[in-house]
A and B are shown apart, each in its own frame.
Chain A
Amino acid sequence: MIDVWELLLRSRKFMFGLAVLISLILLGTVGPWLLGDPYYMNLSLIGRPPSPEHLLGTTSFGEDVFTQLCNAIGNSLVVGLIAGVLGTLIAVFVGAVGPYIGGMADRISSLATNLALVLPLIPLFIIIASVVRGLNLVLIGLILAATSWPWAARSIRSQVLTLKEREYVNLARMSGQNSVDIVVTEVLPNMLAYIMMVFVILTGTAILAESALSMIGVSTTRTITLGYMLYWAQHETTVPFWWNIWWWFIPPGIVLTVLLTAIFVIHAGMDEIFNPRLREL
């Protein structure tokens, strides 16, 4: 088990993805702190192309694109993290504890999983966006978390069902441990690797989902995220054609692609290590 973590540190894919991700995280955390107010509109500098003062030019409101981009990275990561952490916790709880206790608890958790699996995400979002004024990042993270966990809970459930048949679970029971103890100390540690993968995937898909929803205008319209930038770049009409301001929508597009690719590569690296069949030694 310990060897797996060492292998991970030697995995080129994992380390490469992690390096890219960390640079983006730095941009998203340090950037906003060094640069000024991302919403500041300099009306004398509207729709300017990239220049030494404005590395990525300005928007058609006169805002600095680079400043906005750094904030967008940070905020998109926040949404992803909230949804990733919460979604993983829900998936582990529903997927592991229910089936372990068995009986009624298992049936309830299965039912909840199946119900959540068929919950339509986009209509739900549109309804919530129209009802709730001022959707904020935390709220969006929560909604994404609440809708993203079922597939993970299902596969965690099937793994728990296999792991609980191991004799060491019986031995733990015969050492006087209760069910919750056993799940936490005997079953879950063997799934840490998989749970980490679930977290990475949930975080990535939440970032993507938030961007997609922003682009169609049903997410936050006040806080800058990558999707928010893309939305405004498309809908702004003060310049005759929106594609004339390429420096406004290309950077968030590239960053979003790079960010998701980094997360995907991290996942692929983990997959190679954690699924011995894929491991090339």
Chain B
Amino acid sequence: MDDTSETGNNGIVLKCEGLTKLYTSGLIRTKTVTGAKDVSFGIKRGEIVSLAGESGSGKSTVARMILRLIKPTSGSITLNGRSIYSYDIREYYRQVQAVFQDPYSAFNPFYTVDHVMERAFGLREGSIDPDEKDKIIQSTLESIGLNPSEVLGRYPHELSGGQMQRMLIGRSLLIGSQLLIADEPTSMIDASTRAGVLNLLLSLKKDKGLSVLFITHDIGQAQYVSERVLVMKQGEVVEQGPVDEVFIRPKHPYTKELLAAVPTLYERWDTCR
């Protein structure tokens, strides 16, 4: 597969159209919850798009559908112009990877953190000898500002949240993916390391042309990393556009509400510390 040339459609990497997810539970008396409703957007090569919204608004639902972890009820998702379901699963994950909200849950406590990195090689074609593997892992870690000897061979609980999130970003680099779904990657790590992770995303975007769907409930972070933003409420995208436009001249009342909540959020963090 020659992926670099076929971005087509004005360099659009990922495109979601009319994406809807209804969760049903119960066998006889079924209950339906709307996870996402008619969500449409696109992400270009080398672009960071933020998906903002309060808790339960359906952000992770959208992320999970893009990651092929759950099936959409209706709507389509295309990667480089092809339906994501037309890709072989390994081929797909070579191009699309993720970083999740809770780094502590992303590492299996049973193994050292090396496990996650080594597993990533499973996506590559052909075999690779162990020395080569170690070298690739080390240089990848170094390239994202981690000292390999400080993190490798350790158990997850011996690392900080920021180190873990960086390793996970490193993992998707190692795979060489072109699209990263970052589902609230900074919400569980403290403010000082948070900037490091955000800057890492920005530099990867610039240097490697990485596309990112940056999911957050924090308008400030959305403003910092992305050029475009989507605002979700109760499963629907209520507003989308360039960051400055949406946040400086919000049209939808919900966006205004979100913006109004920002200062109070920061105040609360300050007093907590």
Contacts and interface: CB of A to CB of B under 8 A. Distances in A.
Interface string A175-186: 111000000001
A189 B110 contact: yes
A281 B240 CA distance: 53
Nearest to B100: A167
Interface size class of A (residues with CB under 8 A): 10 to 19
B102 A167 contact: yes
B254 interface: no
B155 to A, nearest CB: 8
A176 B125 CA distance: 12
Nearest to B88: A176
B27 to A, nearest CB: 9
Contacts of A174: 67, 93, 97-98
A105 to B, nearest CB: 16
Interface stretch (B14-22, B115-123, B145-153, B210-218): B115-123
Interface in B137-165: 155
A176 to B, nearest CB: 4
Nearest to A165: B105
B89 interface: yes
Contacts of B75: none
A171 interface: yes
A174 B171 CA distance: 11
Nearest to B109: A1
B117 to A, nearest CB: 10
Interface residues of B, number: 25
A190 B100 CA distance: 20
Nearest to B119: A175
A219 to B, nearest CB: 40
B217 to A, nearest CB: 18
Contact of A167 (B90, B93, B106): B106
B105 A168 contact: yes
A158 interface: no
A166 interface: yes
Contacts of A166: 105, 108
Contact of B89 (A2, A176, A189): A176
B108 A175 contact: no
A167 B105 contact: yes
Contacts of B171: 171
Contact of A172 (B105, B119, B155): B119
Contact of B106 (A1, A168, A176, A177): A168
B221 to A, nearest CB: 20
Interface in B85-105: 89-90, 93, 97-98, 100-102, 105
Nearest to A176: B90
Contacts of B247: none
Nearest to A192: B110
Contacts of B260: none
A23 interface: no
Contacts of A167: 100-102, 105-106
A176 B116 contact: no
A173 interface: yes
A114 interface: no
A168 B116 contact: yes
Contact of A1 (B90, B110, B116, B120): B110
B110 A175 contact: no
A257 interface: no
A112 to B, nearest CB: 17
A183 B105 CA distance: 16
18 contacts: A1-B109, A1-B155, A166-B108, A167-B105, A167-B106, A168-B108, A168-B116, A171-B98, A171-B119, A172-B119, A174-B98, A175-B119, A175-B122, A176-B122, A176-B123, A177-B119, A186-B110, A189-B108
Given A171-B168, A173-B69, A174-B67, 15 more contacts: A1-B110, A1-B155, A167-B102, A168-B105, A168-B106, A170-B67, A170-B69, A171-B98, A171-B106, A171-B171, A174-B98, A175-B93, A175-B120, A176-B90, A186-B108
Interface of B: 67, 69, 89-90, 93, 97-98, 100-102, 105-111, 116, 119-120, 122-123, 155, 168, 171
Interface of A: 1-2, 166-168, 170-177, 186, 189-190
